[in-house]
Amino acid sequence: MRIVLLGAPGSGKGTQSQRLVEQHGIPQVSTGDLLRAAVAKGTPLGLAAKEAMTAGRLVDDQIVLGMIRERLTDSDTAGGFILDGFPRNLAQAGALDALLRQIGQPLDAVVQMNVDYGELSRRIAGRRTCSDCGKVLNLLTAPRQLAESELCPKTGQPHRLFQRPDDNEATVAERLRVYEAQTRPLIDYYRAQGLLHTIEAEGDVEAVSERLEAALRGL
Ligand code: AMP
């Protein structure tokens, strides 16, 4: 199964990708995670990406496409993948089509995750990540006590939660603006290819997973 999860920041792409990884045993390919890892390591690529990420803008297409080309030729993606946060504009979508044609692995589906704007901001404000295992928790749905009592699989200690630096109010506003201007046009792009499925992604995580699985059934 080769799919793209499309949606605004905070629409639950990361959370639902992690669930699909568990259900289907195919890897999640998140350009945001790959970029954050490069920034943390201080690689030249990370240094080049950091300024745009901090400001909530898109990182240069060539950097992101280079990372994707490398990742999609790793052996673990041969049996399928979930693209999370990529493509983010029409140029990236065109380049992805060309790459997948080249390796003979076309997309099976693109799922657009619909969430109301007010809800997106609320979710992002509550989002926390464990600095040891990378698990993403939300204080809205998992109250702090519960989140902190769960043990981290890496350390065996409670998760050490931090807020992503680009989850602050000003950067979130810019990320949502960038989504509207550059990413939303992908909905029509994939609809025209007959690949688009749209699901309501508000409410309970479990219910959203069920809608997602229903959209993917039969692929
Ligand atoms: P995310 O974790 O998907 O919200 O991404 C965090 C940040 O990484 C974004 O605000 C962008 O600055 C950058 N980023 C992630 N994916 C892409 C992409 N496909 N193209 C350009 N920039 C990206």
Q: Which atom of ligand 1 is nearest to the CA of 68?
A: 19
Residue for token pair 């692929």:
219
Can you read off the two tokens belonging to residue 205? 């995580």
- pLDDT score, position 76: 95
Radius of gyration of the CA atoms of the chain, in A: 17
Name the pLDDT band for 11 (thresholds 50, 70, 90): very high
Residues 166, 55: Cα–Cα separation, whole Å: 7
Catalytic residue check, 88 = yes
Catalytic residue check, 164 = yes
pLDDT tens digits for range 61-89: 999 999 999 999 999 999 999 999 999 99
Residues 212, 198: Cα–Cα separation, whole Å: 9
64 touches ligand 1 (CB under 6 Å): yes
46 touches ligand 1 (CB under 6 Å): no
Catalytic residue check, 144 = no
**C-alpha dihedral sign at 199, 200, 201, 207:** negative
Instruction: Count CA within 13 A, CB hemisphere, residue 5.
Output: 34
> How many whole angstroms from 10 Cα to the centroid of ligand 1?
12
> How many whole angstroms from 122 Cα to the centroid of ligand 1?
19
Residues with Cβ < 8 Å from 123, sequence gap 6 or more?
10, 12, 115, 138, 140
Q: Is the pLDDT confidence value at 118 over 80? A: yes
29 touches ligand 1 (CB under 6 Å): no
Rounded mean pLDDT of 188-206? 95
Name the pLDDT band for 213 (thresholds 50, 70, 90): very high
Q: Which atom of ligand 1 is nearest to the CA of 53?
A: 12
Catalytic residue check, 160 = no
Residues 76, 74: Cα–Cα separation, whole Å: 6
DSSP state letters, 52-93: HHHHTPPPPHHHHHHHHHHHTTSGGGTT-EEEES---SHHHH
Q: By the 8 A CB rule, do 133 and 159 touch?
A: yes
**C-alpha dihedral sign at 26, 16, 167, 127:** negative
Looking at the domain that runs over 1-27+108-126+163-219, which CATH code has it been given? 3.40.50.300
Lowest mean pLDDT, pick from 11-25, 107-121, 136-150: 136-150
31 touches ligand 1 (CB under 6 Å): yes
- pLDDT score, position 136: 86
Task: Check 122, 135, 160, 164 and give the catalytic one.
Answer: 164
Name the pLDDT band for 219 (thresholds 50, 70, 90): confident
Report the mean per-residue pLDDT for the chain.
Answer: 93
In the chain, which residues fall in CATH 3.40.50.300? 1-27+108-126+163-219
- pLDDT score, position 143: 67
Q: Is the pLDDT confidence value at 91 over 90? A: yes
110 touches ligand 1 (CB under 6 Å): no
Rounded mean pLDDT of 186-208? 95
Are β-strands 196-200 and 109-114 bridged in parallel, bridged antiparallel, or unpaired?
parallel
- pLDDT score, position 135: 85
Q: Which residues pair with 48 in a beta bridge?
A: none
Rounded mean pLDDT of 33-62? 95
> How many whole angstroms from 212 Cα to the centroid of ligand 1?
22
120 touches ligand 1 (CB under 6 Å): no
Q: Is the pLDDT confidence value at 175 over 70? A: yes
